[in-house]
Chains A and B, each alone.
Chain A
Amino acid sequence: MSDNIKKLLTIVTEAALENILIKDIERLGAQGYTITDARGKGGRGSRSAAWDANGNIRIEVVSDAAIASQIASHLKETYYDNYAMILFMSDVEVIRPEKF
Protein backbone atom coordinates (compact mmCIF):
# COMPACT_ATOMS: atom_id res chain seq x y z
CA MET A 1 0.00 0.00 0.00
CA SER A 2 1.60 3.22 -1.16
CA ASP A 3 -0.08 5.16 1.64
CA ASN A 4 2.21 3.50 4.11
CA ILE A 5 5.38 4.46 2.29
CA LYS A 6 7.02 7.49 3.89
CA LYS A 7 10.45 9.07 3.77
CA LEU A 8 13.00 8.52 6.49
CA LEU A 9 15.38 11.47 6.64
CA THR A 10 18.51 10.82 8.69
CA ILE A 11 20.71 13.70 9.79
CA VAL A 12 24.08 13.11 11.39
CA THR A 13 25.55 16.31 12.76
CA GLU A 14 27.12 18.15 15.69
CA ALA A 15 25.40 17.98 19.06
CA ALA A 16 25.76 21.74 19.34
CA LEU A 17 23.07 22.12 16.69
CA GLU A 18 20.45 20.00 18.42
CA ASN A 19 18.16 22.71 19.76
CA ILE A 20 18.26 24.76 16.58
CA LEU A 21 17.58 21.83 14.31
CA ILE A 22 14.62 20.68 16.36
CA LYS A 23 13.02 24.08 15.89
CA ASP A 24 13.69 23.95 12.14
CA ILE A 25 12.30 20.46 11.80
CA GLU A 26 9.11 21.24 13.68
CA ARG A 27 8.59 24.50 11.85
CA LEU A 28 8.87 22.74 8.51
CA GLY A 29 6.05 20.39 9.38
CA ALA A 30 7.44 17.14 10.73
CA GLN A 31 5.24 15.44 13.29
CA GLY A 32 8.10 14.06 15.30
CA TYR A 33 11.73 13.03 15.37
CA THR A 34 14.12 10.72 17.19
CA ILE A 35 17.55 11.77 18.41
CA THR A 36 20.40 9.49 19.41
CA ASP A 37 23.98 10.20 20.39
CA ALA A 38 26.40 9.12 17.72
CA ARG A 39 30.08 8.52 17.14
CA GLY A 40 32.02 8.20 13.95
CA LYS A 41 34.49 9.59 11.51
CA GLY A 42 34.08 11.74 8.44
CA GLY A 43 35.38 14.63 6.38
CA ARG A 44 35.71 16.88 9.41
CA GLY A 45 37.62 14.38 11.49
CA SER A 46 36.62 11.75 13.97
CA ARG A 47 34.06 12.76 16.52
CA SER A 48 34.50 10.71 19.60
CA ALA A 49 31.61 12.06 21.67
CA ALA A 50 34.02 12.08 24.60
CA TRP A 51 32.35 15.18 25.91
CA ASP A 52 29.54 17.58 25.14
CA ALA A 53 30.97 20.03 22.67
CA ASN A 54 32.58 17.33 20.60
CA GLY A 55 29.54 15.06 20.40
CA ASN A 56 27.54 14.00 17.40
CA ILE A 57 23.87 13.29 17.14
CA ARG A 58 21.72 11.39 14.69
CA ILE A 59 18.26 12.77 14.08
CA GLU A 60 15.70 10.65 12.31
CA VAL A 61 12.55 12.12 10.87
CA VAL A 62 9.79 10.15 9.20
CA SER A 63 7.41 12.24 7.09
CA ASP A 64 5.85 12.81 3.67
CA ALA A 65 8.26 13.07 0.77
CA ALA A 66 7.43 16.76 0.38
CA ILE A 67 8.20 17.69 3.95
CA ALA A 68 11.32 15.53 4.01
CA SER A 69 12.81 17.17 0.95
CA GLN A 70 11.89 20.60 2.27
CA ILE A 71 13.73 19.90 5.51
CA ALA A 72 16.67 18.45 3.61
CA SER A 73 17.07 21.43 1.33
CA HIS A 74 16.70 23.89 4.21
CA LEU A 75 19.42 22.11 6.18
CA LYS A 76 21.67 21.90 3.15
CA GLU A 77 21.41 25.62 2.52
CA THR A 78 21.76 26.72 6.10
CA TYR A 79 24.29 24.39 7.66
CA TYR A 80 26.36 22.55 5.06
CA ASP A 81 28.98 25.28 4.75
CA ASN A 82 30.04 25.52 8.35
CA TYR A 83 28.96 22.42 10.19
CA ALA A 84 29.79 18.77 10.05
CA MET A 85 26.54 17.37 8.68
CA ILE A 86 25.40 14.56 6.45
CA LEU A 87 21.89 13.83 5.27
CA PHE A 88 20.41 10.78 3.67
CA MET A 89 16.94 9.71 2.78
CA SER A 90 15.26 6.38 2.30
CA ASP A 91 11.81 4.93 1.83
CA VAL A 92 10.27 3.25 4.81
CA GLU A 93 7.03 1.41 5.28
CA VAL A 94 5.27 2.67 8.36
CA ILE A 95 2.88 0.57 10.38
CA ARG A 96 0.68 3.38 11.68
CA PRO A 97 0.45 5.94 8.88
CA GLU A 98 -1.80 8.23 10.93
CA LYS A 99 1.19 9.09 13.15
CA PHE A 100 3.08 10.78 10.36
Chain B
Amino acid sequence: MIDPVILFFIFGLSAGLLRSELRLPPAIYDLVSIMLLLTIGMKGGIELAKQPFLELLPQMLVVIGLGILLPLIAFPLLRYLGRFSRVDAASIAAHYGSVSMGTFAVAVAYMSARGIYYEEQMPLFVVMLEIPAILVGIVIAKGFSKQTNWAQVGHEVLLGKSIILMIGGLLIGWIAGAEQLASIKPLFFDLFKGILALFLLEMGLITSKHVGSLKKYGVFLIVFGISMPMLSAVLGAATGCLLDFSVGGTAMLAILAASASYIAVPAAMRISVPEANPTLSLAASLGITFPFNVVIGIPIYYAMAEYIHAFFGA
Protein backbone atom coordinates (compact mmCIF):
# COMPACT_ATOMS: atom_id res chain seq x y z
CA MET B 1 0.00 0.00 0.00
CA ILE B 2 1.53 3.29 -1.04
CA ASP B 3 1.34 6.23 1.31
CA PRO B 4 -0.58 9.23 -0.08
CA VAL B 5 2.33 11.58 0.68
CA ILE B 6 4.47 9.52 -1.71
CA LEU B 7 1.79 9.98 -4.36
CA PHE B 8 2.18 13.74 -3.91
CA PHE B 9 5.89 13.33 -4.58
CA ILE B 10 5.28 11.26 -7.69
CA PHE B 11 2.67 13.77 -8.81
CA GLY B 12 5.13 16.67 -8.42
CA LEU B 13 7.84 14.70 -10.20
CA SER B 14 5.55 13.83 -13.11
CA ALA B 15 4.21 17.37 -13.42
CA GLY B 16 7.76 18.67 -13.46
CA LEU B 17 8.92 16.16 -16.06
CA LEU B 18 5.96 17.14 -18.24
CA ARG B 19 7.20 20.73 -17.92
CA SER B 20 4.10 21.96 -16.17
CA GLU B 21 4.16 25.51 -14.82
CA LEU B 22 3.18 24.16 -11.42
CA ARG B 23 5.27 25.51 -8.59
CA LEU B 24 4.77 26.09 -4.89
CA PRO B 25 5.38 29.77 -4.08
CA PRO B 26 8.88 30.00 -2.52
CA ALA B 27 7.59 31.54 0.70
CA ILE B 28 5.12 28.67 1.14
CA TYR B 29 7.85 26.12 0.53
CA ASP B 30 9.95 27.86 3.19
CA LEU B 31 7.06 27.82 5.65
CA VAL B 32 6.30 24.19 4.98
CA SER B 33 9.94 23.18 5.56
CA ILE B 34 10.09 25.25 8.73
CA MET B 35 6.97 23.56 10.09
CA LEU B 36 8.28 20.08 9.28
CA LEU B 37 11.61 20.63 10.95
CA LEU B 38 10.12 22.27 14.04
CA THR B 39 7.59 19.47 14.41
CA ILE B 40 10.19 16.75 14.12
CA GLY B 41 12.41 18.62 16.58
CA MET B 42 9.60 19.10 19.09
CA LYS B 43 8.53 15.45 18.89
CA GLY B 44 12.07 14.42 19.74
CA GLY B 45 12.39 17.07 22.45
CA ILE B 46 9.28 15.92 24.29
CA GLU B 47 10.64 12.38 24.50
CA LEU B 48 14.20 13.42 25.26
CA ALA B 49 13.01 15.28 28.35
CA LYS B 50 12.00 11.91 29.77
CA GLN B 51 15.51 10.45 29.77
CA PRO B 52 18.84 11.51 31.23
CA PHE B 53 20.94 13.29 28.64
CA LEU B 54 24.28 11.83 29.75
CA GLU B 55 23.22 8.32 28.81
CA LEU B 56 22.91 9.51 25.23
CA LEU B 57 26.47 10.77 24.96
CA PRO B 58 28.13 7.46 24.00
CA GLN B 59 25.44 6.88 21.36
CA MET B 60 25.99 10.35 19.99
CA LEU B 61 29.71 9.68 19.66
CA VAL B 62 29.06 6.45 17.76
CA VAL B 63 26.70 8.27 15.41
CA ILE B 64 29.28 10.99 14.80
CA GLY B 65 31.75 8.21 14.00
CA LEU B 66 29.30 6.90 11.41
CA GLY B 67 29.06 10.40 9.94
CA ILE B 68 32.84 10.52 9.54
CA LEU B 69 33.05 7.01 8.11
CA LEU B 70 30.43 7.38 5.35
CA PRO B 71 32.18 10.09 3.30
CA LEU B 72 35.50 8.27 3.73
CA ILE B 73 33.92 5.24 2.05
CA ALA B 74 32.17 7.24 -0.65
CA PHE B 75 35.23 9.27 -1.64
CA PRO B 76 37.50 6.47 -2.96
CA LEU B 77 34.55 4.95 -4.86
CA LEU B 78 33.93 8.25 -6.60
CA ARG B 79 37.56 9.10 -7.11
CA TYR B 80 38.84 5.76 -8.42
CA LEU B 81 35.80 3.99 -9.80
CA GLY B 82 33.94 7.07 -10.96
CA ARG B 83 37.08 8.95 -12.02
CA PHE B 84 35.81 12.23 -10.66
CA SER B 85 38.24 15.01 -9.82
CA ARG B 86 39.35 15.23 -6.22
CA VAL B 87 37.14 18.20 -5.36
CA ASP B 88 34.06 16.77 -7.06
CA ALA B 89 34.51 13.39 -5.41
CA ALA B 90 34.99 15.07 -2.02
CA SER B 91 31.91 17.21 -2.46
CA ILE B 92 29.67 14.32 -3.54
CA ALA B 93 31.06 12.23 -0.66
CA ALA B 94 30.10 14.98 1.78
CA HIS B 95 26.55 15.00 0.39
CA TYR B 96 26.25 11.24 0.90
CA GLY B 97 27.75 11.27 4.38
CA SER B 98 25.30 13.89 5.55
CA VAL B 99 21.54 13.49 5.93
CA SER B 100 18.37 14.65 4.25
CA MET B 101 15.72 16.14 6.50
CA GLY B 102 13.08 15.47 3.87
CA THR B 103 13.86 11.77 3.82
CA PHE B 104 13.78 11.71 7.61
CA ALA B 105 10.37 13.40 7.62
CA VAL B 106 9.01 10.76 5.24
CA ALA B 107 10.50 8.05 7.46
CA VAL B 108 8.80 9.55 10.52
CA ALA B 109 5.49 9.44 8.65
CA TYR B 110 6.18 5.87 7.48
CA MET B 111 6.87 4.66 11.02
CA SER B 112 3.92 6.44 12.61
CA ALA B 113 1.49 5.23 9.93
CA ARG B 114 2.48 1.68 10.81
CA GLY B 115 2.67 2.23 14.54
CA ILE B 116 6.35 1.26 14.62
CA TYR B 117 8.30 2.30 17.68
CA TYR B 118 11.71 3.92 17.25
CA GLU B 119 14.10 5.51 19.73
CA GLU B 120 13.13 9.09 20.47
CA GLN B 121 16.62 10.49 20.20
CA MET B 122 16.58 10.18 16.39
CA PRO B 123 16.19 13.93 15.72
CA LEU B 124 19.30 14.49 17.81
CA PHE B 125 21.14 11.97 15.63
CA VAL B 126 19.99 13.80 12.53
CA VAL B 127 21.85 16.85 13.78
CA MET B 128 24.88 14.74 14.75
CA LEU B 129 24.99 13.09 11.33
CA GLU B 130 24.57 16.24 9.32
CA ILE B 131 27.75 17.97 10.44
CA PRO B 132 30.80 15.63 10.37
CA ALA B 133 30.50 14.72 6.68
CA ILE B 134 30.69 18.38 5.68
CA LEU B 135 33.93 18.86 7.58
CA VAL B 136 35.37 15.59 6.27
CA GLY B 137 34.46 16.60 2.72
CA ILE B 138 36.22 19.94 3.06
CA VAL B 139 39.33 18.33 4.53
CA ILE B 140 39.48 15.71 1.75
CA ALA B 141 39.11 18.41 -0.89
CA LYS B 142 41.54 20.94 0.50
CA GLY B 143 43.46 19.35 3.36
CA PHE B 144 43.73 21.38 6.55
CA SER B 145 44.36 24.35 4.35
CA LYS B 146 44.81 27.84 5.73
CA GLN B 147 42.66 29.09 2.89
CA THR B 148 39.62 27.57 4.50
CA ASN B 149 37.91 30.05 6.75
CA TRP B 150 36.90 27.61 9.50
CA ALA B 151 35.01 30.21 11.51
CA GLN B 152 32.85 30.86 8.50
CA VAL B 153 32.41 27.17 7.78
CA GLY B 154 31.42 26.62 11.41
CA HIS B 155 28.89 29.41 11.20
CA GLU B 156 27.49 28.07 7.96
CA VAL B 157 27.24 24.53 9.28
CA LEU B 158 25.99 25.11 12.81
CA LEU B 159 23.63 27.96 12.07
CA GLY B 160 22.34 26.57 8.79
CA LYS B 161 18.59 26.79 8.55
CA SER B 162 17.85 23.10 8.98
CA ILE B 163 20.09 22.57 11.99
CA ILE B 164 18.95 25.67 13.80
CA LEU B 165 15.28 24.75 13.30
CA MET B 166 15.81 21.19 14.42
CA ILE B 167 17.71 22.27 17.54
CA GLY B 168 15.16 25.00 18.24
CA GLY B 169 12.34 22.46 17.99
CA LEU B 170 14.20 20.00 20.22
CA LEU B 171 14.73 22.65 22.89
CA ILE B 172 11.14 23.90 22.73
CA GLY B 173 9.84 20.35 23.05
CA TRP B 174 12.29 19.59 25.84
CA ILE B 175 11.50 22.70 27.88
CA ALA B 176 7.76 22.85 27.31
CA GLY B 177 6.90 19.15 27.51
CA ALA B 178 3.91 17.37 26.03
CA GLU B 179 1.22 19.00 28.17
CA GLN B 180 2.25 22.56 27.44
CA LEU B 181 2.63 21.81 23.75
CA ALA B 182 -0.95 20.55 23.56
CA SER B 183 -2.02 24.12 22.81
CA ILE B 184 -0.06 24.20 19.52
CA LYS B 185 -0.52 20.55 18.70
CA PRO B 186 -3.25 21.11 16.08
CA LEU B 187 -1.01 23.26 13.89
CA PHE B 188 2.19 21.21 14.09
CA PHE B 189 1.44 17.60 14.99
CA ASP B 190 -2.05 17.09 13.59
CA LEU B 191 -1.23 18.73 10.27
CA PHE B 192 2.11 16.96 9.90
CA LYS B 193 1.05 14.60 7.12
CA GLY B 194 -0.69 17.35 5.14
CA ILE B 195 2.30 19.64 5.43
CA LEU B 196 4.57 16.77 4.42
CA ALA B 197 2.39 16.18 1.35
CA LEU B 198 2.83 19.80 0.21
CA PHE B 199 6.54 19.61 0.92
CA LEU B 200 6.88 16.45 -1.16
CA LEU B 201 4.89 17.97 -4.01
CA GLU B 202 7.46 20.74 -4.27
CA MET B 203 10.30 18.26 -3.76
CA GLY B 204 8.96 16.32 -6.74
CA LEU B 205 9.01 19.47 -8.85
CA ILE B 206 12.55 20.32 -7.73
CA THR B 207 13.71 16.75 -8.34
CA SER B 208 12.36 16.81 -11.89
CA LYS B 209 14.72 19.68 -12.69
CA HIS B 210 17.72 17.62 -11.64
CA VAL B 211 16.72 14.47 -13.45
CA GLY B 212 17.45 16.24 -16.72
CA SER B 213 21.03 17.09 -15.81
CA LEU B 214 21.70 13.41 -15.03
CA LYS B 215 22.02 12.56 -18.71
CA LYS B 216 25.12 14.72 -18.87
CA TYR B 217 26.94 12.81 -16.15
CA GLY B 218 26.51 9.26 -17.28
CA VAL B 219 25.68 5.92 -15.83
CA PHE B 220 28.20 5.83 -13.00
CA LEU B 221 26.44 8.59 -11.09
CA ILE B 222 23.10 6.79 -11.38
CA VAL B 223 24.59 3.51 -10.16
CA PHE B 224 26.36 5.34 -7.34
CA GLY B 225 23.17 7.22 -6.41
CA ILE B 226 21.41 3.93 -5.74
CA SER B 227 24.18 1.63 -4.50
CA MET B 228 25.85 4.09 -2.11
CA PRO B 229 22.66 4.57 -0.04
CA MET B 230 22.20 0.78 0.08
CA LEU B 231 25.74 0.38 1.38
CA SER B 232 25.30 3.23 3.87
CA ALA B 233 22.02 1.70 5.04
CA VAL B 234 23.79 -1.56 5.86
CA LEU B 235 26.33 0.37 7.93
CA GLY B 236 23.57 2.42 9.56
CA ALA B 237 21.59 -0.70 10.41
CA ALA B 238 24.71 -2.36 11.82
CA THR B 239 25.32 0.73 13.97
CA GLY B 240 21.71 0.61 15.16
CA CYS B 241 22.12 -3.04 16.10
CA LEU B 242 25.39 -2.28 17.87
CA LEU B 243 23.66 0.41 19.91
CA ASP B 244 20.95 -2.10 20.82
CA PHE B 245 18.16 -0.13 19.16
CA SER B 246 14.71 -1.52 18.42
CA VAL B 247 13.91 -2.63 14.87
CA GLY B 248 12.31 0.78 14.22
CA GLY B 249 15.33 2.64 15.59
CA THR B 250 17.70 0.48 13.58
CA ALA B 251 15.68 1.16 10.44
CA MET B 252 15.71 4.89 11.21
CA LEU B 253 19.48 4.94 11.53
CA ALA B 254 19.76 2.97 8.29
CA ILE B 255 17.49 5.51 6.56
CA LEU B 256 19.47 8.43 7.97
CA ALA B 257 22.74 6.89 6.82
CA ALA B 258 21.28 6.17 3.38
CA SER B 259 19.93 9.67 2.83
CA ALA B 260 22.00 12.30 1.06
CA SER B 261 21.92 15.99 1.84
CA TYR B 262 20.61 18.48 -0.67
CA ILE B 263 20.31 21.69 1.38
CA ALA B 264 22.95 22.07 4.07
CA VAL B 265 25.85 20.42 2.28
CA PRO B 266 25.44 22.13 -1.12
CA ALA B 267 25.42 25.51 0.61
CA ALA B 268 28.50 24.70 2.70
CA MET B 269 30.39 23.18 -0.24
CA ARG B 270 29.63 26.12 -2.48
CA ILE B 271 31.38 28.39 -0.02
CA SER B 272 34.20 26.13 1.12
CA VAL B 273 34.99 24.07 -1.99
CA PRO B 274 33.89 26.38 -4.81
CA GLU B 275 35.88 24.43 -7.42
CA ALA B 276 33.48 21.51 -7.06
CA ASN B 277 30.66 21.38 -9.58
CA PRO B 278 27.45 21.87 -7.58
CA THR B 279 25.10 20.44 -10.21
CA LEU B 280 26.96 17.13 -10.13
CA SER B 281 26.29 16.49 -6.44
CA LEU B 282 22.73 17.73 -6.67
CA ALA B 283 21.95 15.62 -9.73
CA ALA B 284 22.97 12.57 -7.70
CA SER B 285 21.46 13.43 -4.32
CA LEU B 286 18.25 15.05 -5.59
CA GLY B 287 17.87 13.45 -8.98
CA ILE B 288 18.41 9.85 -7.89
CA THR B 289 18.96 9.21 -4.21
CA PHE B 290 16.11 11.25 -2.75
CA PRO B 291 13.39 9.76 -5.00
CA PHE B 292 14.88 6.29 -4.64
CA ASN B 293 14.95 6.50 -0.84
CA VAL B 294 11.51 8.01 -0.48
CA VAL B 295 9.67 5.73 -2.88
CA ILE B 296 11.55 2.43 -2.69
CA GLY B 297 14.36 2.73 -0.15
CA ILE B 298 12.52 3.21 3.15
CA PRO B 299 10.63 -0.12 3.01
CA ILE B 300 13.85 -1.87 1.93
CA TYR B 301 15.82 -0.38 4.81
CA TYR B 302 13.08 -1.38 7.22
CA ALA B 303 13.21 -4.95 5.93
CA MET B 304 16.98 -4.79 6.26
CA ALA B 305 16.64 -3.78 9.93
CA GLU B 306 14.24 -6.66 10.56
CA TYR B 307 16.65 -9.06 8.88
CA ILE B 308 19.65 -7.89 10.89
CA HIS B 309 17.67 -8.15 14.09
CA ALA B 310 16.48 -11.64 13.25
CA PHE B 311 20.09 -12.66 12.77
CA PHE B 312 21.97 -10.82 15.47
CA GLY B 313 19.23 -9.53 17.75
CA ALA B 314 18.66 -10.95 21.18
**Residues on A facing B (Cβ under 8 Å):** 14, 16-17, 20, 45, 48-53, 79, 81-83
Answer whether A20 and B267 are a contact pair too, CB < 8 Å, given A45-B279, A49-B26: no
**CB < 8 Å: which of A16, A48, A53 contacts B209?**
A48
**Closest CB in chain B relative to A51 CB, distance in Å:** 6
Q: Is B263 an interface residue (CB 8 A)?
A: yes
Min CB–CB distance A61 → chain B (angstroms): 21
Max chain A Cβ within 10 angstroms of own Cβ: one of B23, B263, B275, B278: B278
In the complex, are the beta carbons of B267 and A82 less than 8 A apart? Answer: no
> Pick the contact of B270 from A16, A51, A81 — CB < 8 Å?
A16
Q: B263 contacts A52, CB within 8 Å? A: yes
How many of B's residues come within 8 Å of A, CB to CB? 19
Distance A20 CA – B282 CA, assembled complex (angstroms): 22
Q: Are B23 and A52 touching (Cβ within 8 A)?
A: no
Contact of B267 among A50, A53, A79 (CB under 8 A): A53
Pick the residue among A20, A52, A81 that contacts B271 (CB under 8 A).
A20
Which residues between 186 and 220 of chain B lie within 8 Å of chain A, taking CB atoms?
205-206, 209
Please indicate the chain A residues that have their CB under 8 angstroms from the CB of B240 in the complex: none
Measured between beta carbons, the chain B residues less than 8 angstroms from A49 are: 26
Q: 20 A-B pairs, CB-CB below 8 angstroms?
A: A14-B270, A16-B270, A17-B271, A20-B152, A20-B271, A50-B26, A50-B205, A50-B206, A51-B26, A51-B206, A52-B263, A52-B267, A53-B262, A53-B266, A53-B267, A53-B282, A79-B274, A81-B274, A81-B275, A83-B274
Tell me the bound Cα distance from A82 to B209 in angstroms: 22
Per-position binary interface string of chain B over residues 155-199, scored 1 when its CB falls under 8 Å from any chain A CB and 0 otherwise: 000000100000000000000000000000000000000000000
B282: chain A residues within 8 A (beta carbon)? 53
For residue A77, give the distance in angstroms from its CB to the closest CB of chain B.
Answer: 13
Whether B292 is near chain A, meaning CB under 8 Å from some CB there, is no
Chain B residues whose C-beta falls within 8 Å of the C-beta of A52 in the assembled complex: 161, 263, 267
- Which of B23, B209, B262 counts the most A-chain CB atoms under 10 A from its CB? B209
Q: In the bound complex, how far is the Cα of B282 from the Cα of A45, in angstroms?
A: 14
Contact (Cβ within 8 A) A53 B29: no
Listed from nearest, the 7 A-B pairs whose CB atoms lie closest are: A82-B274, A16-B270, A53-B266, A82-B275, A53-B267, A16-B267, A51-B206
* Chain B hits for A83, CB < 8 A: 274
Residue pair B274, A50 in contact (C-beta under 8 Å) = no
B270-A50 in contact (CB<8A): no
Q: Which residues of chain A come closer than 8 Å to B270, judged between CB atoms?
A: 14, 16-17, 53
Contact A16 B26 (CB under 8 A): no
Q: Specify which of B23, B152, B205, B263 is in contact with A53 (CB 8 Å cutoff).
A: B263
Which of chain B's residues 257-303 have a Cβ closer than 8 Å to chain A? 262-263, 266-267, 270-271, 274-275, 278-279, 282
Q: How distant is the Cα of A17 from the Cα of B279 in the complex, in angstroms? A: 16
CB closest chain-A residue, reference B24: A50
Closest to A55 in B: B26
| Distance, CA A50 to CA B23, complexed state (A) | 8
Residues of B within 8 A of A16 (CB): 267, 270-271
Q: Which residue of B lies closest to A37 (CB)?
A: B26
